[in-house]
Every structure is written in C-alpha cells, then in structure tokens.
Amino acid sequence: MPRSTVSNTLSNALFKGVILLVVTVPLLATLLAIRLLWLRAVHPTDLVLLAVMYAFIAFGVTVGYHRMLTHRSFRPHPAVKLVLLILGSMAFEGPALEWAATHTKHHAQSDREGDPHSPVEGFFHAHIGWIFRDSTADPKVYARHLMSDKIVMFVSRTFLLWALLSLAIPFAVGGLLGGWPGALTGLLWGGLVRMFLTHHVTWSVNSVCHTFGRRMFETVDRSRNEWVVGLLAFGEGWHNNHHAFPRSAFHGLRWWQFDFSGYLIWALERLGLVTDVYRIPPALLARQAAKAKSLAVPATADAAEEVA
C-alpha cells in the first residue's frame, strides 16, 4: 500500500476518533449529571453556569456563525464580530470558516445530492451521522470571500483555544465558588452537559426541522418550522422561514414566533453595534405568502412531503 494512502487512512481514522470523543464524552457526562441530579448532588451554581454558558455560546452559533458570517444578515462592529465568532467556536462545532462553508453548501444543495446533512439519507444521518463522513465543504469553493477576512481566519486558526476555554471557564468559576468539588461539577454542567445540549439542539435544526413541523412557504427543500427547536435554538427552528428568506436577520416572521437571536440583533442595532441589518421587503414577503396560500401548502409534516 502506498505511503500516502496509509497516511490518509490514519488521518481519517484519527479524525473519526476525535469526533467520536466529542460526541460521546458529553453524552456520558450528561448521563452522570442526571444521576447526580437524581441523588441531589447538584447546586444552583451548576445550573446557573449551564444556563449562562449555553445562552452565550448558542448566540455565538446562531447570531455569529449563522446569521452574521454565513448569510451576512448584518454588518457588525469588528469587536462584536470577534466576540461572536469566539463564542461560536466555544460550541465545539468546528472552526468558523469550515462551519460557514458547510452551511453554505447545505443551502446550495439542500435536500439534494451533495447536501452534507439531509434527512433524505435518513434521520440519523441528518442529525449526527453526517459528521462521521468526509462531508465538509471546501472553503475555497463555498466561503472563498471569508479567507481574506483577518478576524475570521484568526478565530478559525485558534479554534481549539476557544473550544477548550469553554471548558476552562466553568471549571474555574465553579472552583472559585466551591473549591475542587465545585470545579468538577462546574465543568460537568457548564462544560460537558452544555456541550451535549448545544450539539443536539444545533443538529436538530438539520434533522427535526427537515422532517417534522409546518411549512409557511413553498421552498425547493423539505425545511419546516418547529416551535420546540425554535425555542431551544433561539429562533433557528423557524427553518422554513429561513430557507424561504436565507439572508433575513430575523427568522421569526410572526409575533408568536419567538426569535431570541433576532431580538439580540435588534438590540445590537439599537446600540449602534451592528448596521445594514437585512429585513425582508414587505412586498416580497407578501408575494411569497400569497404564493404559498395559492398552492395550499399543507401544514403537517406528512402532507408537506407531497410538495417538498
């Protein structure tokens, strides 16, 4: 066997091994956390750390990686851009450049051959199986414009630092407040359990929101709106809305479609920290809504299969 082939095989095996650890360790930690919770070995500090770390890092993914970087839904102040990308890196979902390229490829080939994570190949594949395949997108093809962005490239190259910092912070805070026991439970809840929740909520947008839910708009893919994911993913669950209007900074298009990421973007705009926030022109929104109504888009997931 040629030396290059052996090297590639070992590299691929190492990559899959690392991915397996990133997926299974938080799962095992969550099971441990549930056991400790059942035995009442959990403190309010642990749950506060979990909530705070989850919220900040989720915004890093939804507002930073997704709406800002991939879809250019608004123009941020450089400091805001740096902070959002660092928070997104803390999610352990890959460097900013690769994340944006993969998501761009998803939109370009949504639910067709070449889509990195479509449930067309099975629900499990869309949720988690895809990350074990060589399905990453080439940034030179799907995110070439970002390769000249100094902030994006800096954060991407230092990805591991920020990812590990997301574990070090709850460990340190827990230790300051509760000694070694507090440090360990802080790492457990604010680090590993938070990682488990962040991963599976993000992956649910790929799997659940292309399988279950309602369709407000006619699109060429299987995207759907699912309110539970909308709540947990800070607005990302209004996925059919997003696929109908990918560049929109706001995914919740009705007053009852809570979109915490959209609220944050609105607040940052008010503070002058972001500009050029893209909003759907009313005429375009009305036209798309009328089109969907005329086609009588089914509301249920099963019926939606007929028009997807």
Q: Which two tokens stand for residue 250?
A: 């706001």
- Return the DSSP state at 132: G
The CA distance from 189 to 195, in Å, is: 9
CA–CA separation, 157 and 97 (whole Å): 9
The count of structural domains within the chain is 1
Give the tokens for residue 217. 């708009």
Amino acid at 179: G
Residues 6+ apart with CB under 8 A from 122: 129
DSSP 134-191: S----HHHHSGGGGG-HHHHHHHHTHHHHHHHHHHHHHHHHHHHHHHHHHHHHIIIII
CB 213 within 8 A of CB 238: no
Q: 254 burial class (0-12, 13-18, 19+ CB within 10 angstroms)?
A: exposed
Q: Which domain holds residue 96?
A: 3-304
- The tens-digit pLDDT sequence of the chain (308 residues) is 555 555 666 666 665 566 567 667 777 777 778 777 766 767 889 989 999 999 999 999 999 999 999 999 999 999 999 999 999 999 999 999 999 999 999 999 999 988 999 998 998 899 999 988 766 789 999 999 999 999 999 999 999 999 999 999 999 999 999 999 999 999 999 999 999 999 999 999 999 999 999 999 999 999 999 999 999 999 999 999 999 999 999 999 999 999 999 999 999 999 999 999 999 999 999 888 888 877 654 444 433 332 22
